[in-house]
Chains A and B, each alone.
Chain A
Amino acid sequence: MNHPRQTPLVRWAITHPRTVFWGLGVLTVLFTALLPLIQIDTDPENMLPEDNPERVFHNQVQERFSMHDTLVVGMVHPDGIYQPRLLADLHSVTRYAEQLGGVISPDVMSLASVDNITQNEQNTLRFEWMMRTPPETAQDAERIRTQVEDLPLLFDTLVSADGKAASVYIPIEDKNRSYALSRNIRAHIDTLDSDAQWHVTGLPVAEDRFGHEMFVQMGISAPLAGLTIFLLLWVFFRNIPFILSPMIVAMATVLITMGALIGAGFTVHIMSSMIAIFLMPIAVVDSVHILSEFADRYRRGANAKVVVTEVMSHLFKPMLLTSVTSAVGFFSLMLTPIPPVQIFGFFVGMGILLAFAMTIVVVPAYLTSLNPSTLDRMVDRLPDEDKTRLAGALTALGRAARARTRLWVLGFSALFAVSVWGITQIQINDNPVRWFKADHELRIADRTLNDHFAGTYDAYLVFDSTVSPDAQARELLDEAMAKEILSENQQAWLSAQRDALTGEHALSDLILALDDRLFETSGTDARVFETLMEELEQLQSRGQTFLQPTILAYLDRLESALIDTGRVGKSNSLVDVVKTVNRELRSGEAKDFQLPSSAEAVAQTLLQYQSSHRPQDLWHFVTPDYQSSLIWLQLTSGDNQQMSAVVDAVNRYIQDHPLPEGLSMQWAGKTYLNVVWQSEMVEGMATSLVSAFVIVLVMMVLLFRSLWFGLIAMLPLTLTITGIYGLIGWIGKDYDMPIAVLSALTLGLSIDFAIHFVERARATARATGDWSQTLDVMFREPARAIARNAIVIAVGFTPLLLAPLVPYITVGVFLASIMALSALVTLVLLPVVITLLRRILFGFQDSPENASTHTDRSPIE
């Protein structure tokens, strides 16, 4: 850029402003027209690719055990919920929910919809609705308490252990309807005039609210960012027509990028909802450079075209470079295995390149189309740059940087060391519920319900039988077919059955077919068939893994061990079903709360459970073929750390007590999936950060044609990012999704300052031939440009602080502070380091009077 040259594109833009404006207008309108196709996606599951094996398994489990997205209504009363009027309210809400369209009413769970299994009189088993109609007296209400406290599957799930809360679980068909349904339920609760405290929550509600808050963010924060930047530019240039072009570029960039994203069929996820607010400040930065330099060079009566051409020939290369490095930072996010993060990285990266392309075309065309009198007015009103408060502060900063270079180096090194230690202390943890602010109604509901109940966060330990009885069935058929007493046509029939022995119900189908056949068979054939039948049935019984007492006993011990860790609020499984029914079949007393001793006894116990009003509940715990079963764990916290600790506890248990033979175990449940994508993200981010670092370093070395300058340029951002993440470790803030995402992209943004500083410093040093003079110059106009850009970006992100969701606020705070800090560090660290290394870097011998008061020897020498 030391050799000013005409850029053909810029020249064309200056001579064809109308075409430029029309082109921009048409392009913007075209892409804006795609915006209404927007599809919001708030499902945390989508943090994992659709073919992620853990996600696929999770969804299979949901299907296999008939689980649905569920709304949770909580009723809390400080005096206890076992009061007739409160139970009447609960009853009313349950009945109301059951008749709502879109609710899977047979699976609604509440005191008003479940069965009570009890011993009525001596030796009498009684099945009845727990609360078909609301109790009329206090004694009736109290009786419900006694009954439900005796049923381990319901106690601490449908009613809290302290008796102060009750819940209604409402499974729904389509979670997109959760908002409408929860609003209906809320409205019904309001008609009750209940003095209890009510909460309507659950994952689908949370997701829905999340989507709503995302729209709020996009609708408020992004335009606010635009307004903030506009005001800042006005403070800098004091002329509205003059500063309109950056705003036009920023708006067009945001609209075209979002239009392209939506038009390409991508959903707008929490990450992509931030694209607008990211692009807005970044898109303005290049224009700020052009406007600054234009304002510096333009004098009354000058030819705007000439000035613009001059400015553009200076700035083209650094602008291209800073845009490319920023884009690289964002593109590196595509290396993470998290699809929403990949999409975000790609579109922001493309948006930055688009902003660059539009800046070099639109801004020159715009400036040269302005009325010369407007430009003259602008120049007249421009504040004297050297007398601003910013200029004064920067000069002071320059002086400070030059004094005591070694002390600075020591300070920065100490800071770096402390930061690295801080980084080792980082706690990786996330919980999508905490993406809402602490005072959000969903957070309050979350806290309240988890205070009272055994936990509203679900994870599932899924056990599968790995042996199929089909092969053995074939052997039995072969044996029977080989028997000589069997007539030929029956042999042929068996052979056909053998061939048909595939698929889910193969063995059961065979038994039924054989039973039918036996009906029409007699003589020796019948005897062969009867023997075969007996063997097949034995095979089938043995194959029903989760009726075997030894297997159930293993699950039972595992559950106890997990409860003993203190990390699991409650666990529910087939074991609890069997034990409860067994108890009521026998004495009804605690001593009989145990597993029966044979598979037949377990099967007969379950046959009784299936004679209730809700036989289908059994299939939430085991599949009808008894080949697959699960333990449902309730956790009081959705924190990844909590879930990981439970996973570790299970792994330890299985290590010490190996799974029974023929059994496999796998995790499912949203709380578990969060852990999966979280850990993929942490690993992915490391890759993305390292590769962005390497790519940017290589670019710097190539740009400066010097390894030393390349390395030096990387120093400020390295120190800043290390410092910020060190701080996170020190203050104990959880390393979560937004923080993880920030690392790589801040790298791409904060390198800009170093590029400008090093580039200008080298040019000035070459011109002056003296480092001290160079520093004087550097802390005037170049430092101001850097500071101004840092302010634009940092302040541009601050509207995120007003956003309704925590990740946005985190991103706002961190980006703003990283930008501000890295500009500051650039302005201090680079002069210090270059001063110390000036002999290597420039070949300057010395300049004793100003370079450094303490030393003129580089510590590297």
Chain B
Amino acid sequence: MNRSTNRAMTWLNTVTAAALMLLTALAYGEEPMTDARAIVEKAEQVAFYSGQDGRTEARMLITDRQNRRQVRQFTLLRRTREDNSTQDMMVFFSRPADVRNTVFRVIKRVGTEDDRWLYLPGLDLVKRISAGDKRTAFVGSHFFYEDVSGRSTQLDHYELLETTEEVYRLKGTPKDPASVEFDHYIVAIDRKTMLPVSTDYKNAQGKTYRQMEVLEIQTIEGYPTVTHSVMRDLETGGQTEMQFRNIAYDLGLPESVFSERSLRNPPTEWLN
């Protein structure tokens, strides 16, 4: 694929997206949706499947209750495969300096375990990772791996609790409670953008112990995109702020970018 085809596709995608948005507005703008499943699936699309591919630079500020800080900075590339559910992802770390060039490679599959690889330049090592579950910390932040990759809506039952002027509020309950640490969660989905704007994770006692909140949304190339969010751990008093910049969609990222080769040889032309 050459650059011009890419650009054409980008243009096409943008038009398609705009048309979709218009349709969305027409279809849902006035009349609120009532089917919980339809709402969350739409939100999943907007939050994790916008565009055929995308790039963003992310910066995480991880603070603990004593306000001590760690920084993580990385570039994330994403590409959705033809089945519209499987996704390739690459995470290239740039900061702190001593983890620079550490790379994650992920093939996210719905309904089964993801494939994950890791490249550690300091150890000159490519390692396959298999995690028992996806609810482990993402590189020491308060976001879980699953918060970054996207929790499949197939995993939970949903119940629409209320519909306000701004949001749909839904309760998500895990189909397999043993696989997660929460009892249920309450998610608010912005009616205008269909992006989840806050999620409260509750324990068996109904107490919120973990809380995601979106602080800023921008529309980029027609896609409503979260550019600033925070995950609070109410039990430890720590939190992670995540900011995104230099966002682009539908870059026409070639498949080769998402290969094992890219672990040791980052595709620099796609990173800025």
- Chain A: residues with CB nearer than 8 A to chain B? 63-64, 66, 99, 104-106, 115, 120-121, 123-129, 132-133, 504-505, 508, 511-512, 515, 519, 537-538, 540-541, 544, 547, 582, 585-586, 596, 598-605, 607-608, 610-616, 618-619, 623-625
Known: A600-B122, A607-B139. 10 other contacts (CB 8 A): A63-B66, A115-B136, A121-B130, A123-B128, A585-B123, A602-B122, A603-B122, A614-B137, A615-B141, A624-B64
In the complex, identify which listed stretch (B29-37, B42-50, B79-87, B92-100) lies at the interface while the others stay far away.
Answer: B92-100
In the complex, identify which listed stretch (B68-76, B154-162, B191-199, B261-269) lies at the interface while the others stay far away.
Answer: B68-76
- The list of the 9 closest CB pairs from A to B, nearest first, reads A128-B132, A610-B140, A601-B122, A600-B122, A603-B98, A537-B97, A615-B137, A604-B120, A124-B128
Q: Chain A: which residue is nearest B61 at the CB level?
A: A512
Distance between A685 CB and nearest chain B CB, rounded to angstroms: 39
Q: Are B140 and A125 in contact (CB under 8 A)?
A: no
> Which interface residue of B68, B99, B145, B238 has the most chain A CB atoms within 10 A?
B68
Partner pick for B123 among A99, A127, A604, CB 8 A cutoff: A604
Q: Are A585 and B136 in contact (CB under 8 A)?
A: no
Q: Is B102 part of the contact surface with A, judged by Cβ < 8 Å?
A: yes
Which residues of A sit under 8 angstroms from B137, Cβ to Cβ?
610-615
Q: Is B26 part of the contact surface with A, judged by Cβ < 8 Å?
A: no
- Known contacts A604-B123, A624-B69: A538-B102 contact under CB 8 Å: no
Q: Are B70 and A599 in contact (CB under 8 A)?
A: no
Q: Is B178 part of the contact surface with A, judged by Cβ < 8 Å?
A: yes
Q: Are A585 and B127 in contact (CB under 8 A)?
A: yes
A519 to B246 alpha-carbon distance, docked (Å): 10
Distance between B214 CB and nearest chain A CB, rounded to angstroms: 21
Distance between B169 CB and nearest chain A CB, rounded to angstroms: 26
Q: Are A125 and B69 in contact (CB under 8 A)?
A: no
Per-position contact with A for B15-57: 1 when CB-CB < 8 Å, else 0? 0000000000000000000000000000000000000000000
Q: Is B205 part of the contact surface with A, judged by Cβ < 8 Å?
A: yes
Q: Chain A: which residue is nearest B245 at the CB level?
A: A519
- Known contacts A599-B98, A610-B137: A512-B71 contact under CB 8 Å: yes
Q: Is B259 part of the contact surface with A, judged by Cβ < 8 Å?
A: no
Could you list 20 A-B pairs, sorted by A, with CB under 8 Å? A99-B204, A104-B235, A106-B233, A121-B130, A123-B128, A124-B127, A126-B131, A511-B95, A537-B95, A537-B97, A540-B97, A596-B123, A598-B122, A600-B122, A601-B120, A611-B136, A611-B138, A612-B136, A613-B136, A615-B141
Partner pick for A624 among B68, B135, B141, B203, CB 8 A cutoff: B68
A279 to B137 alpha-carbon distance, docked (Å): 61
Distance between A662 CB and nearest chain B CB, rounded to angstroms: 18
Interface residues on B, range: 35 or more
A120 to B113 alpha-carbon distance, docked (Å): 14
A378 to B122 alpha-carbon distance, docked (Å): 97
A489 to B168 alpha-carbon distance, docked (Å): 48
- Known contacts A541-B97, A613-B137, A624-B64: A607-B131 contact under CB 8 Å: no
Q: Are B70 and A624 in contact (CB under 8 A)?
A: yes
Distance between B264 CB and nearest chain A CB, rounded to angstroms: 14
Partner pick for B145 among A607, A611, A614, CB 8 A cutoff: A611
Distance between B224 CB and nearest chain A CB, rounded to angstroms: 23
Distance between A454 CB and nearest chain B CB, rounded to angstroms: 27
A810 to B171 alpha-carbon distance, docked (Å): 63
Q: Is B118 part of the contact surface with A, judged by Cβ < 8 Å?
A: yes
Which residues of A sit under 8 angstroms from B102, Cβ to Cβ?
604, 607
Partner pick for B127 among A66, A125, A505, CB 8 A cutoff: A125
Distance between A629 CB and nearest chain B CB, rounded to angstroms: 14
Which residues of A sit under 8 angstroms from B236, Cβ to Cβ?
104, 106, 616
Which residues of B sit under 8 angstroms from A613, Cβ to Cβ?
135-137
Q: Chain B: which residue is nearest A505 at the CB level?
A: B69
Q: Are B130 and A126 in contact (CB under 8 A)?
A: yes
Partner pick for B118 among A132, A511, A608, CB 8 A cutoff: A608
A586 to B71 alpha-carbon distance, docked (Å): 26
Q: Are A120 and B68 in contact (CB under 8 A)?
A: no
A106 to B71 alpha-carbon distance, docked (Å): 22
Q: Are A127 and B245 in contact (CB under 8 A)?
A: no
Q: Chain B: which residue is nearest A129 at the CB level?
A: B132
Per-position contact with A for B114-156: 1 when CB-CB < 8 Å, else 0? 0000101111010111111101111111000100000000000
> Which interface residue of B59, B66, B122, B145 has the most chain A CB atoms within 10 A?
B122
A106 to B142 alpha-carbon distance, docked (Å): 12
Which residues of B sit under 8 angstroms from A603, Cβ to Cβ?
96, 98-99, 122
Q: Are B140 and A611 in contact (CB under 8 A)?
A: yes
Q: Are A127 and B69 in contact (CB under 8 A)?
A: no
Q: Are B130 and A125 in contact (CB under 8 A)?
A: yes
Q: Are A585 and B125 in contact (CB under 8 A)?
A: yes
Which residues of B sit under 8 angstroms from A120, Cβ to Cβ?
130
Which residues of A sit under 8 angstroms from B135, Cβ to Cβ?
613
A105 to B237 alpha-carbon distance, docked (Å): 12
Q: Are A125 and B136 in contact (CB under 8 A)?
A: no
Partner pick for B98 among A544, A623, A624, CB 8 A cutoff: A544
A113 to B235 alpha-carbon distance, docked (Å): 15
Q: Are A607 and B69 in contact (CB under 8 A)?
A: no
A133 to B177 alpha-carbon distance, docked (Å): 11
> Which interface residue of B64, B69, B96 has the most chain A CB atoms within 10 A?
B96
Q: Are B235 and A106 in contact (CB under 8 A)?
A: yes
Which residues of B sit under 8 angstroms from A610, Cβ to Cβ?
137, 139-140
Distance between A340 CB and nearest chain B CB, rounded to angstroms: 31
Q: Which of B167-186 contact A (CB under 8 A)?
A: 178
Distance between B138 CB and nearest chain A CB, rounded to angstroms: 7
Q: Are A126 and B245 in contact (CB under 8 A)?
A: no
Distance between B18 CB and nearest chain A CB, rounded to angstroms: 28
Q: Chain A: which residue is nearest B138 at the CB level?
A: A611
